[in-house]
Structure 1
Amino acid sequence: MLKKYAQLIVRQGVNLQKGQDLVISADVECAPLVKEIAKEAYKAGARDVIPDYSDETLTRLRYENNEVDYFKEVPDYIKHLRNDYALKHAAIVTITSANPELLKGIDPQKVMARSVAMHTECNVFYDHLDRMIDRWCIVGAPSLKWANKVFPDMSDEEAMEALWNAIYHVTYVDTEDPIATWDKHRQSFEERVKILNEMKIKTLHYTNDLGTDLYVSMNKGYLFAGGGSYTTDGVYSFPNMPTEEIFSSPDYLKTEGIVYASMPLNYNGSLVEDFYIRFKDGRAVEYDAKSGRDTLASIIESDEGAHYLGEVALVPYDSPIRETGILFYNTLFDENAACHLALGKGFSECIEGGYDMNFDQLKEKGVNNSVTHVDFMIGTKDLSITAITEDGEEKPIFINGCFAF
């Protein structure tokens, strides 16, 4: 199963091309998967595979023993690793496995300072990812503490096996031919994307019994995308595995109303639970949380762009991830169990001609820019989404949490 997973990541996830470098970022606990990915990458013709390892324990110690100013600087070796390989158009695989409570109790300003510094100093790297110049893929692999969080009543061995099996299931690795299954998965996305892009939506109206009552306006020339994406060299890949979402970038200045989160948000190891955000003229003007409010504040206050939406994502309530009944405490998985929104940066692929625009031009078209992009889940079993089209028609997009078409 690990070999099948590695094959899927290389062949479909980043769709590695012959002669291309591959950088794999992962915790040391994920070394077995890193090695399998490397084997498959070389079979696919990789020029080189570069492991970029971290260690959860050391990460925690670093945050405990340094002040905020330390995290405002990025070591040269990290800048060179990211920016230099971006200039070589290396493919990037990131393996997420962190303990959901890794940074519990850590000052969120430290976490945000590091995030801002990374996006500033590694600007070439992030620009290439944001603008789909280079291919990337985020995947999951269990760590013991993550498995224990998801399955607290199991033994260590049972929890690890259960989390592996859940990951294999929601990424379709447990099917007879995962690569062929993902080809079919792609086709299902393309059918709905076509409908949404031809609908000429002006506004999306979200309501549910949690209290959500939100109007999100779309840009003229908006584009929905889903499943995978083409990089600028014309190669198709899947940036997220799993993925069940169809997404776009709204007009960042025209969101009105209130939205309630339907699931906890795990942000860099800190949990935000039972929270809401109120928007006026696109901007988050009020927010609160039952727990983790400081973390939520650090996200929204990270820069001006983080006060606005960069993404609307449609995920049916009956998605395979939701049907597992598992709360993963990991955004990669949980965002694919429910409709979600994202604060921060929007996507150049979500506006006509966006790949040829710089950030200022994208902003003029209504696509938000920020140093951050943070998804939070809003989908529920009773979620209703109604599209108001440019000619004034109202068309159902979601009824009772699922697509109306």
Structure 2
Amino acid sequence: MLEKYAELIVKQGVNLQKGQELVIDSSIECFDLVRAIAKAAYQIGAKDVIVHYTDEKISRLRYENCPQEHFENIPQYLVELRNQYALRHAAIVTITSSDPEAMKGIDPRKIQTWSAAIHKACLTFYDHLDLGIDRWCIVGAPSVGWANKVFPDMSDTEAVRALWQAIFKVTRCDQKDPIEAWNEHRRSFEKRIQVLNEKKIKSLHYTNGLGTDLTIGMNQNYLFAGGGSYTTDGIYSFPNMPTEEIFTSPNKDQVNGIVYSSMPLNYNGHLIDRFSITFQNGRIVDYTAEVGYDVLQSIIETDEGSHYLGEVALVPYDSPIRNMGILFYNTLFDENAACHLAIGKGFGECMVDGLKMSKKELFEKGINDSLTHVDFMIGTKDLSIVAVLENNEQFVIFKDGNFVF
């Protein structure tokens, strides 16, 4: 199963090309998967496979012992390293496996300061990923800490095994031919995407029993996307495995109302739960959180762009991940169990000819820009989403949490 998973990541996730470099970012706990990915990459002719390991316990010690100002400065070697990967058009695989409470008690400002600083310093690297120039893929693999959070009543061994089984299921690795299963999965998105792109939607109105009452304006020449996407060289890949969402980037200045979270958000080892965000003319003007208010604040205060939305994503309540009945405490998985929004950077692929535009051009046409992009879940069993079209007719997209077409 591990070999099938690794092959899927290489051939579908990043769609690695012969002669291309592959960079893998991973926790030391996931070395078995890293080795399997490296083997699969070399088998199809990778030029090289470069691995960067991290250790959550060392990371925590760093945040505990280094002062705030330490995280404001990125070493030049790290800047050159990441930006060189972009200039060489390396493919990037990131393995997420963090304990959802690994950074509990750590000042979230330190983590957010480092995140913002490294995005700013390594702008070439992140621009190549965000603007569809280079391919990347985020996948999951169990760590003991994460498995214990998801399955608290099991032993370490049982919990890790159960989480592996869940990951294999939601990534379709348990099927006879996972590669073809993902090809079919890609085709399953196309009908709905075509409908949404032909409807000429002016705005989306979200309501549910939690109190969400949010209107989101759309950009002219918007595009919905889903499943995977093309990079500027015309190669198709899946940046997220698993994925069940159809998404677009809204007009950053046309969001009004309040939205309530429907699931916990794990952000860099901190949990945020039972929170709300209020928008006025696109900008966040108020927010609350029963758990993790200071972490939510650190996200929103990253920069000016983190006060605006960059993504709206449609995921039916009756989705494969939701139906498993597992709360993963990991955004990669939980965002595919519910409709979600994202604070921060928008996507060039969500506008006609957007991949040919600069960040400035995209921004001027309404797509948000930021150093961050953070998804949070809002989908519920009673969620309603009604589109208002350019001719002022209404088109119901979601009723009782699911697509109606």
Per the normalisation by structure 2, the TM-score is 0.99
Does the alignment pair 1:214 with 2:223? no
Using the alignment, how far apart are the partners of 1:260 and 1:354 within structure 2? 30
3-state SS of 1:250 partner: coil
Tell me which residue corresponds to 2:227: 227
Using the alignment, how far apart are the partners of 2:128 and 2:206 within structure 1? 33
Tell me which residue corresponds to 1:282: 282
Moved over 6 A (4+): none
What do the CA deviations read for 1:187-214 (whole angstroms, capped 9, x no partner)?
Answer: 0111111111001000000000000000
Root mean square deviation, CA, Å: 0.6
Tell me which residue corresponds to 2:51: 51
Tell me which residue corresponds to 1:97: 97
Tell me which residue corresponds to 2:6: 6
Q: How does 1:109-258 map to 2 (within 5 A)?
A: 109-258=109-258
What do the CA deviations read for 1:44-88 (whole angstroms, capped 9, x no partner)?
Answer: 110000001111110000000011111111123322221111100
What do the CA deviations read for 1:158-203 (whole angstroms, capped 9, x no partner)?
Answer: 0000000000000000001000000000001111111110010000
Using the alignment, how far apart are the partners of 1:401 and 1:77 within structure 2? 48
Please state how far the C-alpha of 1:324 moved relative to its aligned partner: 0.8
3-state SS of 2:252 partner: strand
Tell me which residue corresponds to 2:360: 360
Using the alignment, how far apart are the partners of 2:81 and 2:378 within structure 1? 36
Using the alignment, how far apart are the partners of 2:357 and 2:152 within structure 1? 48
Using the alignment, how far apart are the partners of 2:229 and 2:74 within structure 1? 30
What do the CA deviations read for 1:224-259 (whole angstroms, capped 9, x no partner)?
Answer: 000000011100000000000000000000101000
Using the alignment, how far apart are the partners of 1:319 and 1:232 within structure 2? 30
In structure 1, give the amino acid aligned to 2:129: L
Using the alignment, how far apart are the partners of 1:301 and 1:120 within structure 2? 15
Using the alignment, how far apart are the partners of 2:80 and 2:177 within structure 1? 38
What do the CA deviations read for 1:282-327 (whole angstroms, capped 9, x no partner)?
Answer: 1110100001000000111111110100000000111111011111
Using the alignment, how far apart are the partners of 1:102 and 1:40 within structure 2? 31
In structure 2, give the amino acid aligned to 1:146: W
Please state how far the C-alpha of 1:32 moved relative to its aligned partner: 0.4
- Structure 2: segments with no counterpart, 5+ residues: none
Please state how far the C-alpha of 1:148 moved relative to its aligned partner: 0.4
3-state SS of 1:382 partner: coil
Using the alignment, how far apart are the partners of 1:70 and 1:363 within structure 2? 32
In structure 1, give the amino acid aligned to 2:358: N
Tell me which residue corresponds to 2:297: 297
Does the alignment pair 1:397 with 2:397? yes
3-state SS of 1:186 partner: helix
Using the alignment, how far apart are the partners of 2:137 and 2:338 within structure 1? 20
Please state how far the C-alpha of 1:102 moved relative to its aligned partner: 1.1
In structure 2, give the amino acid aligned to 1:219: N
Using the alignment, how far apart are the partners of 2:312 and 2:18 within structure 1? 35
Say which is worse superposed, 68-77 or 115-124, in terms of deviation: 68-77
Using the alignment, how far apart are the partners of 2:188 and 2:310 within structure 1? 24
Tell me which residue corresponds to 2:387: 387
Using the alignment, how far apart are the partners of 2:90 and 2:99 within structure 1? 28
Using the alignment, how far apart are the partners of 1:178 and 1:126 within structure 2? 29
In structure 2, give the amino acid aligned to 1:308: Y
Alignment length, in residue pairs? 405
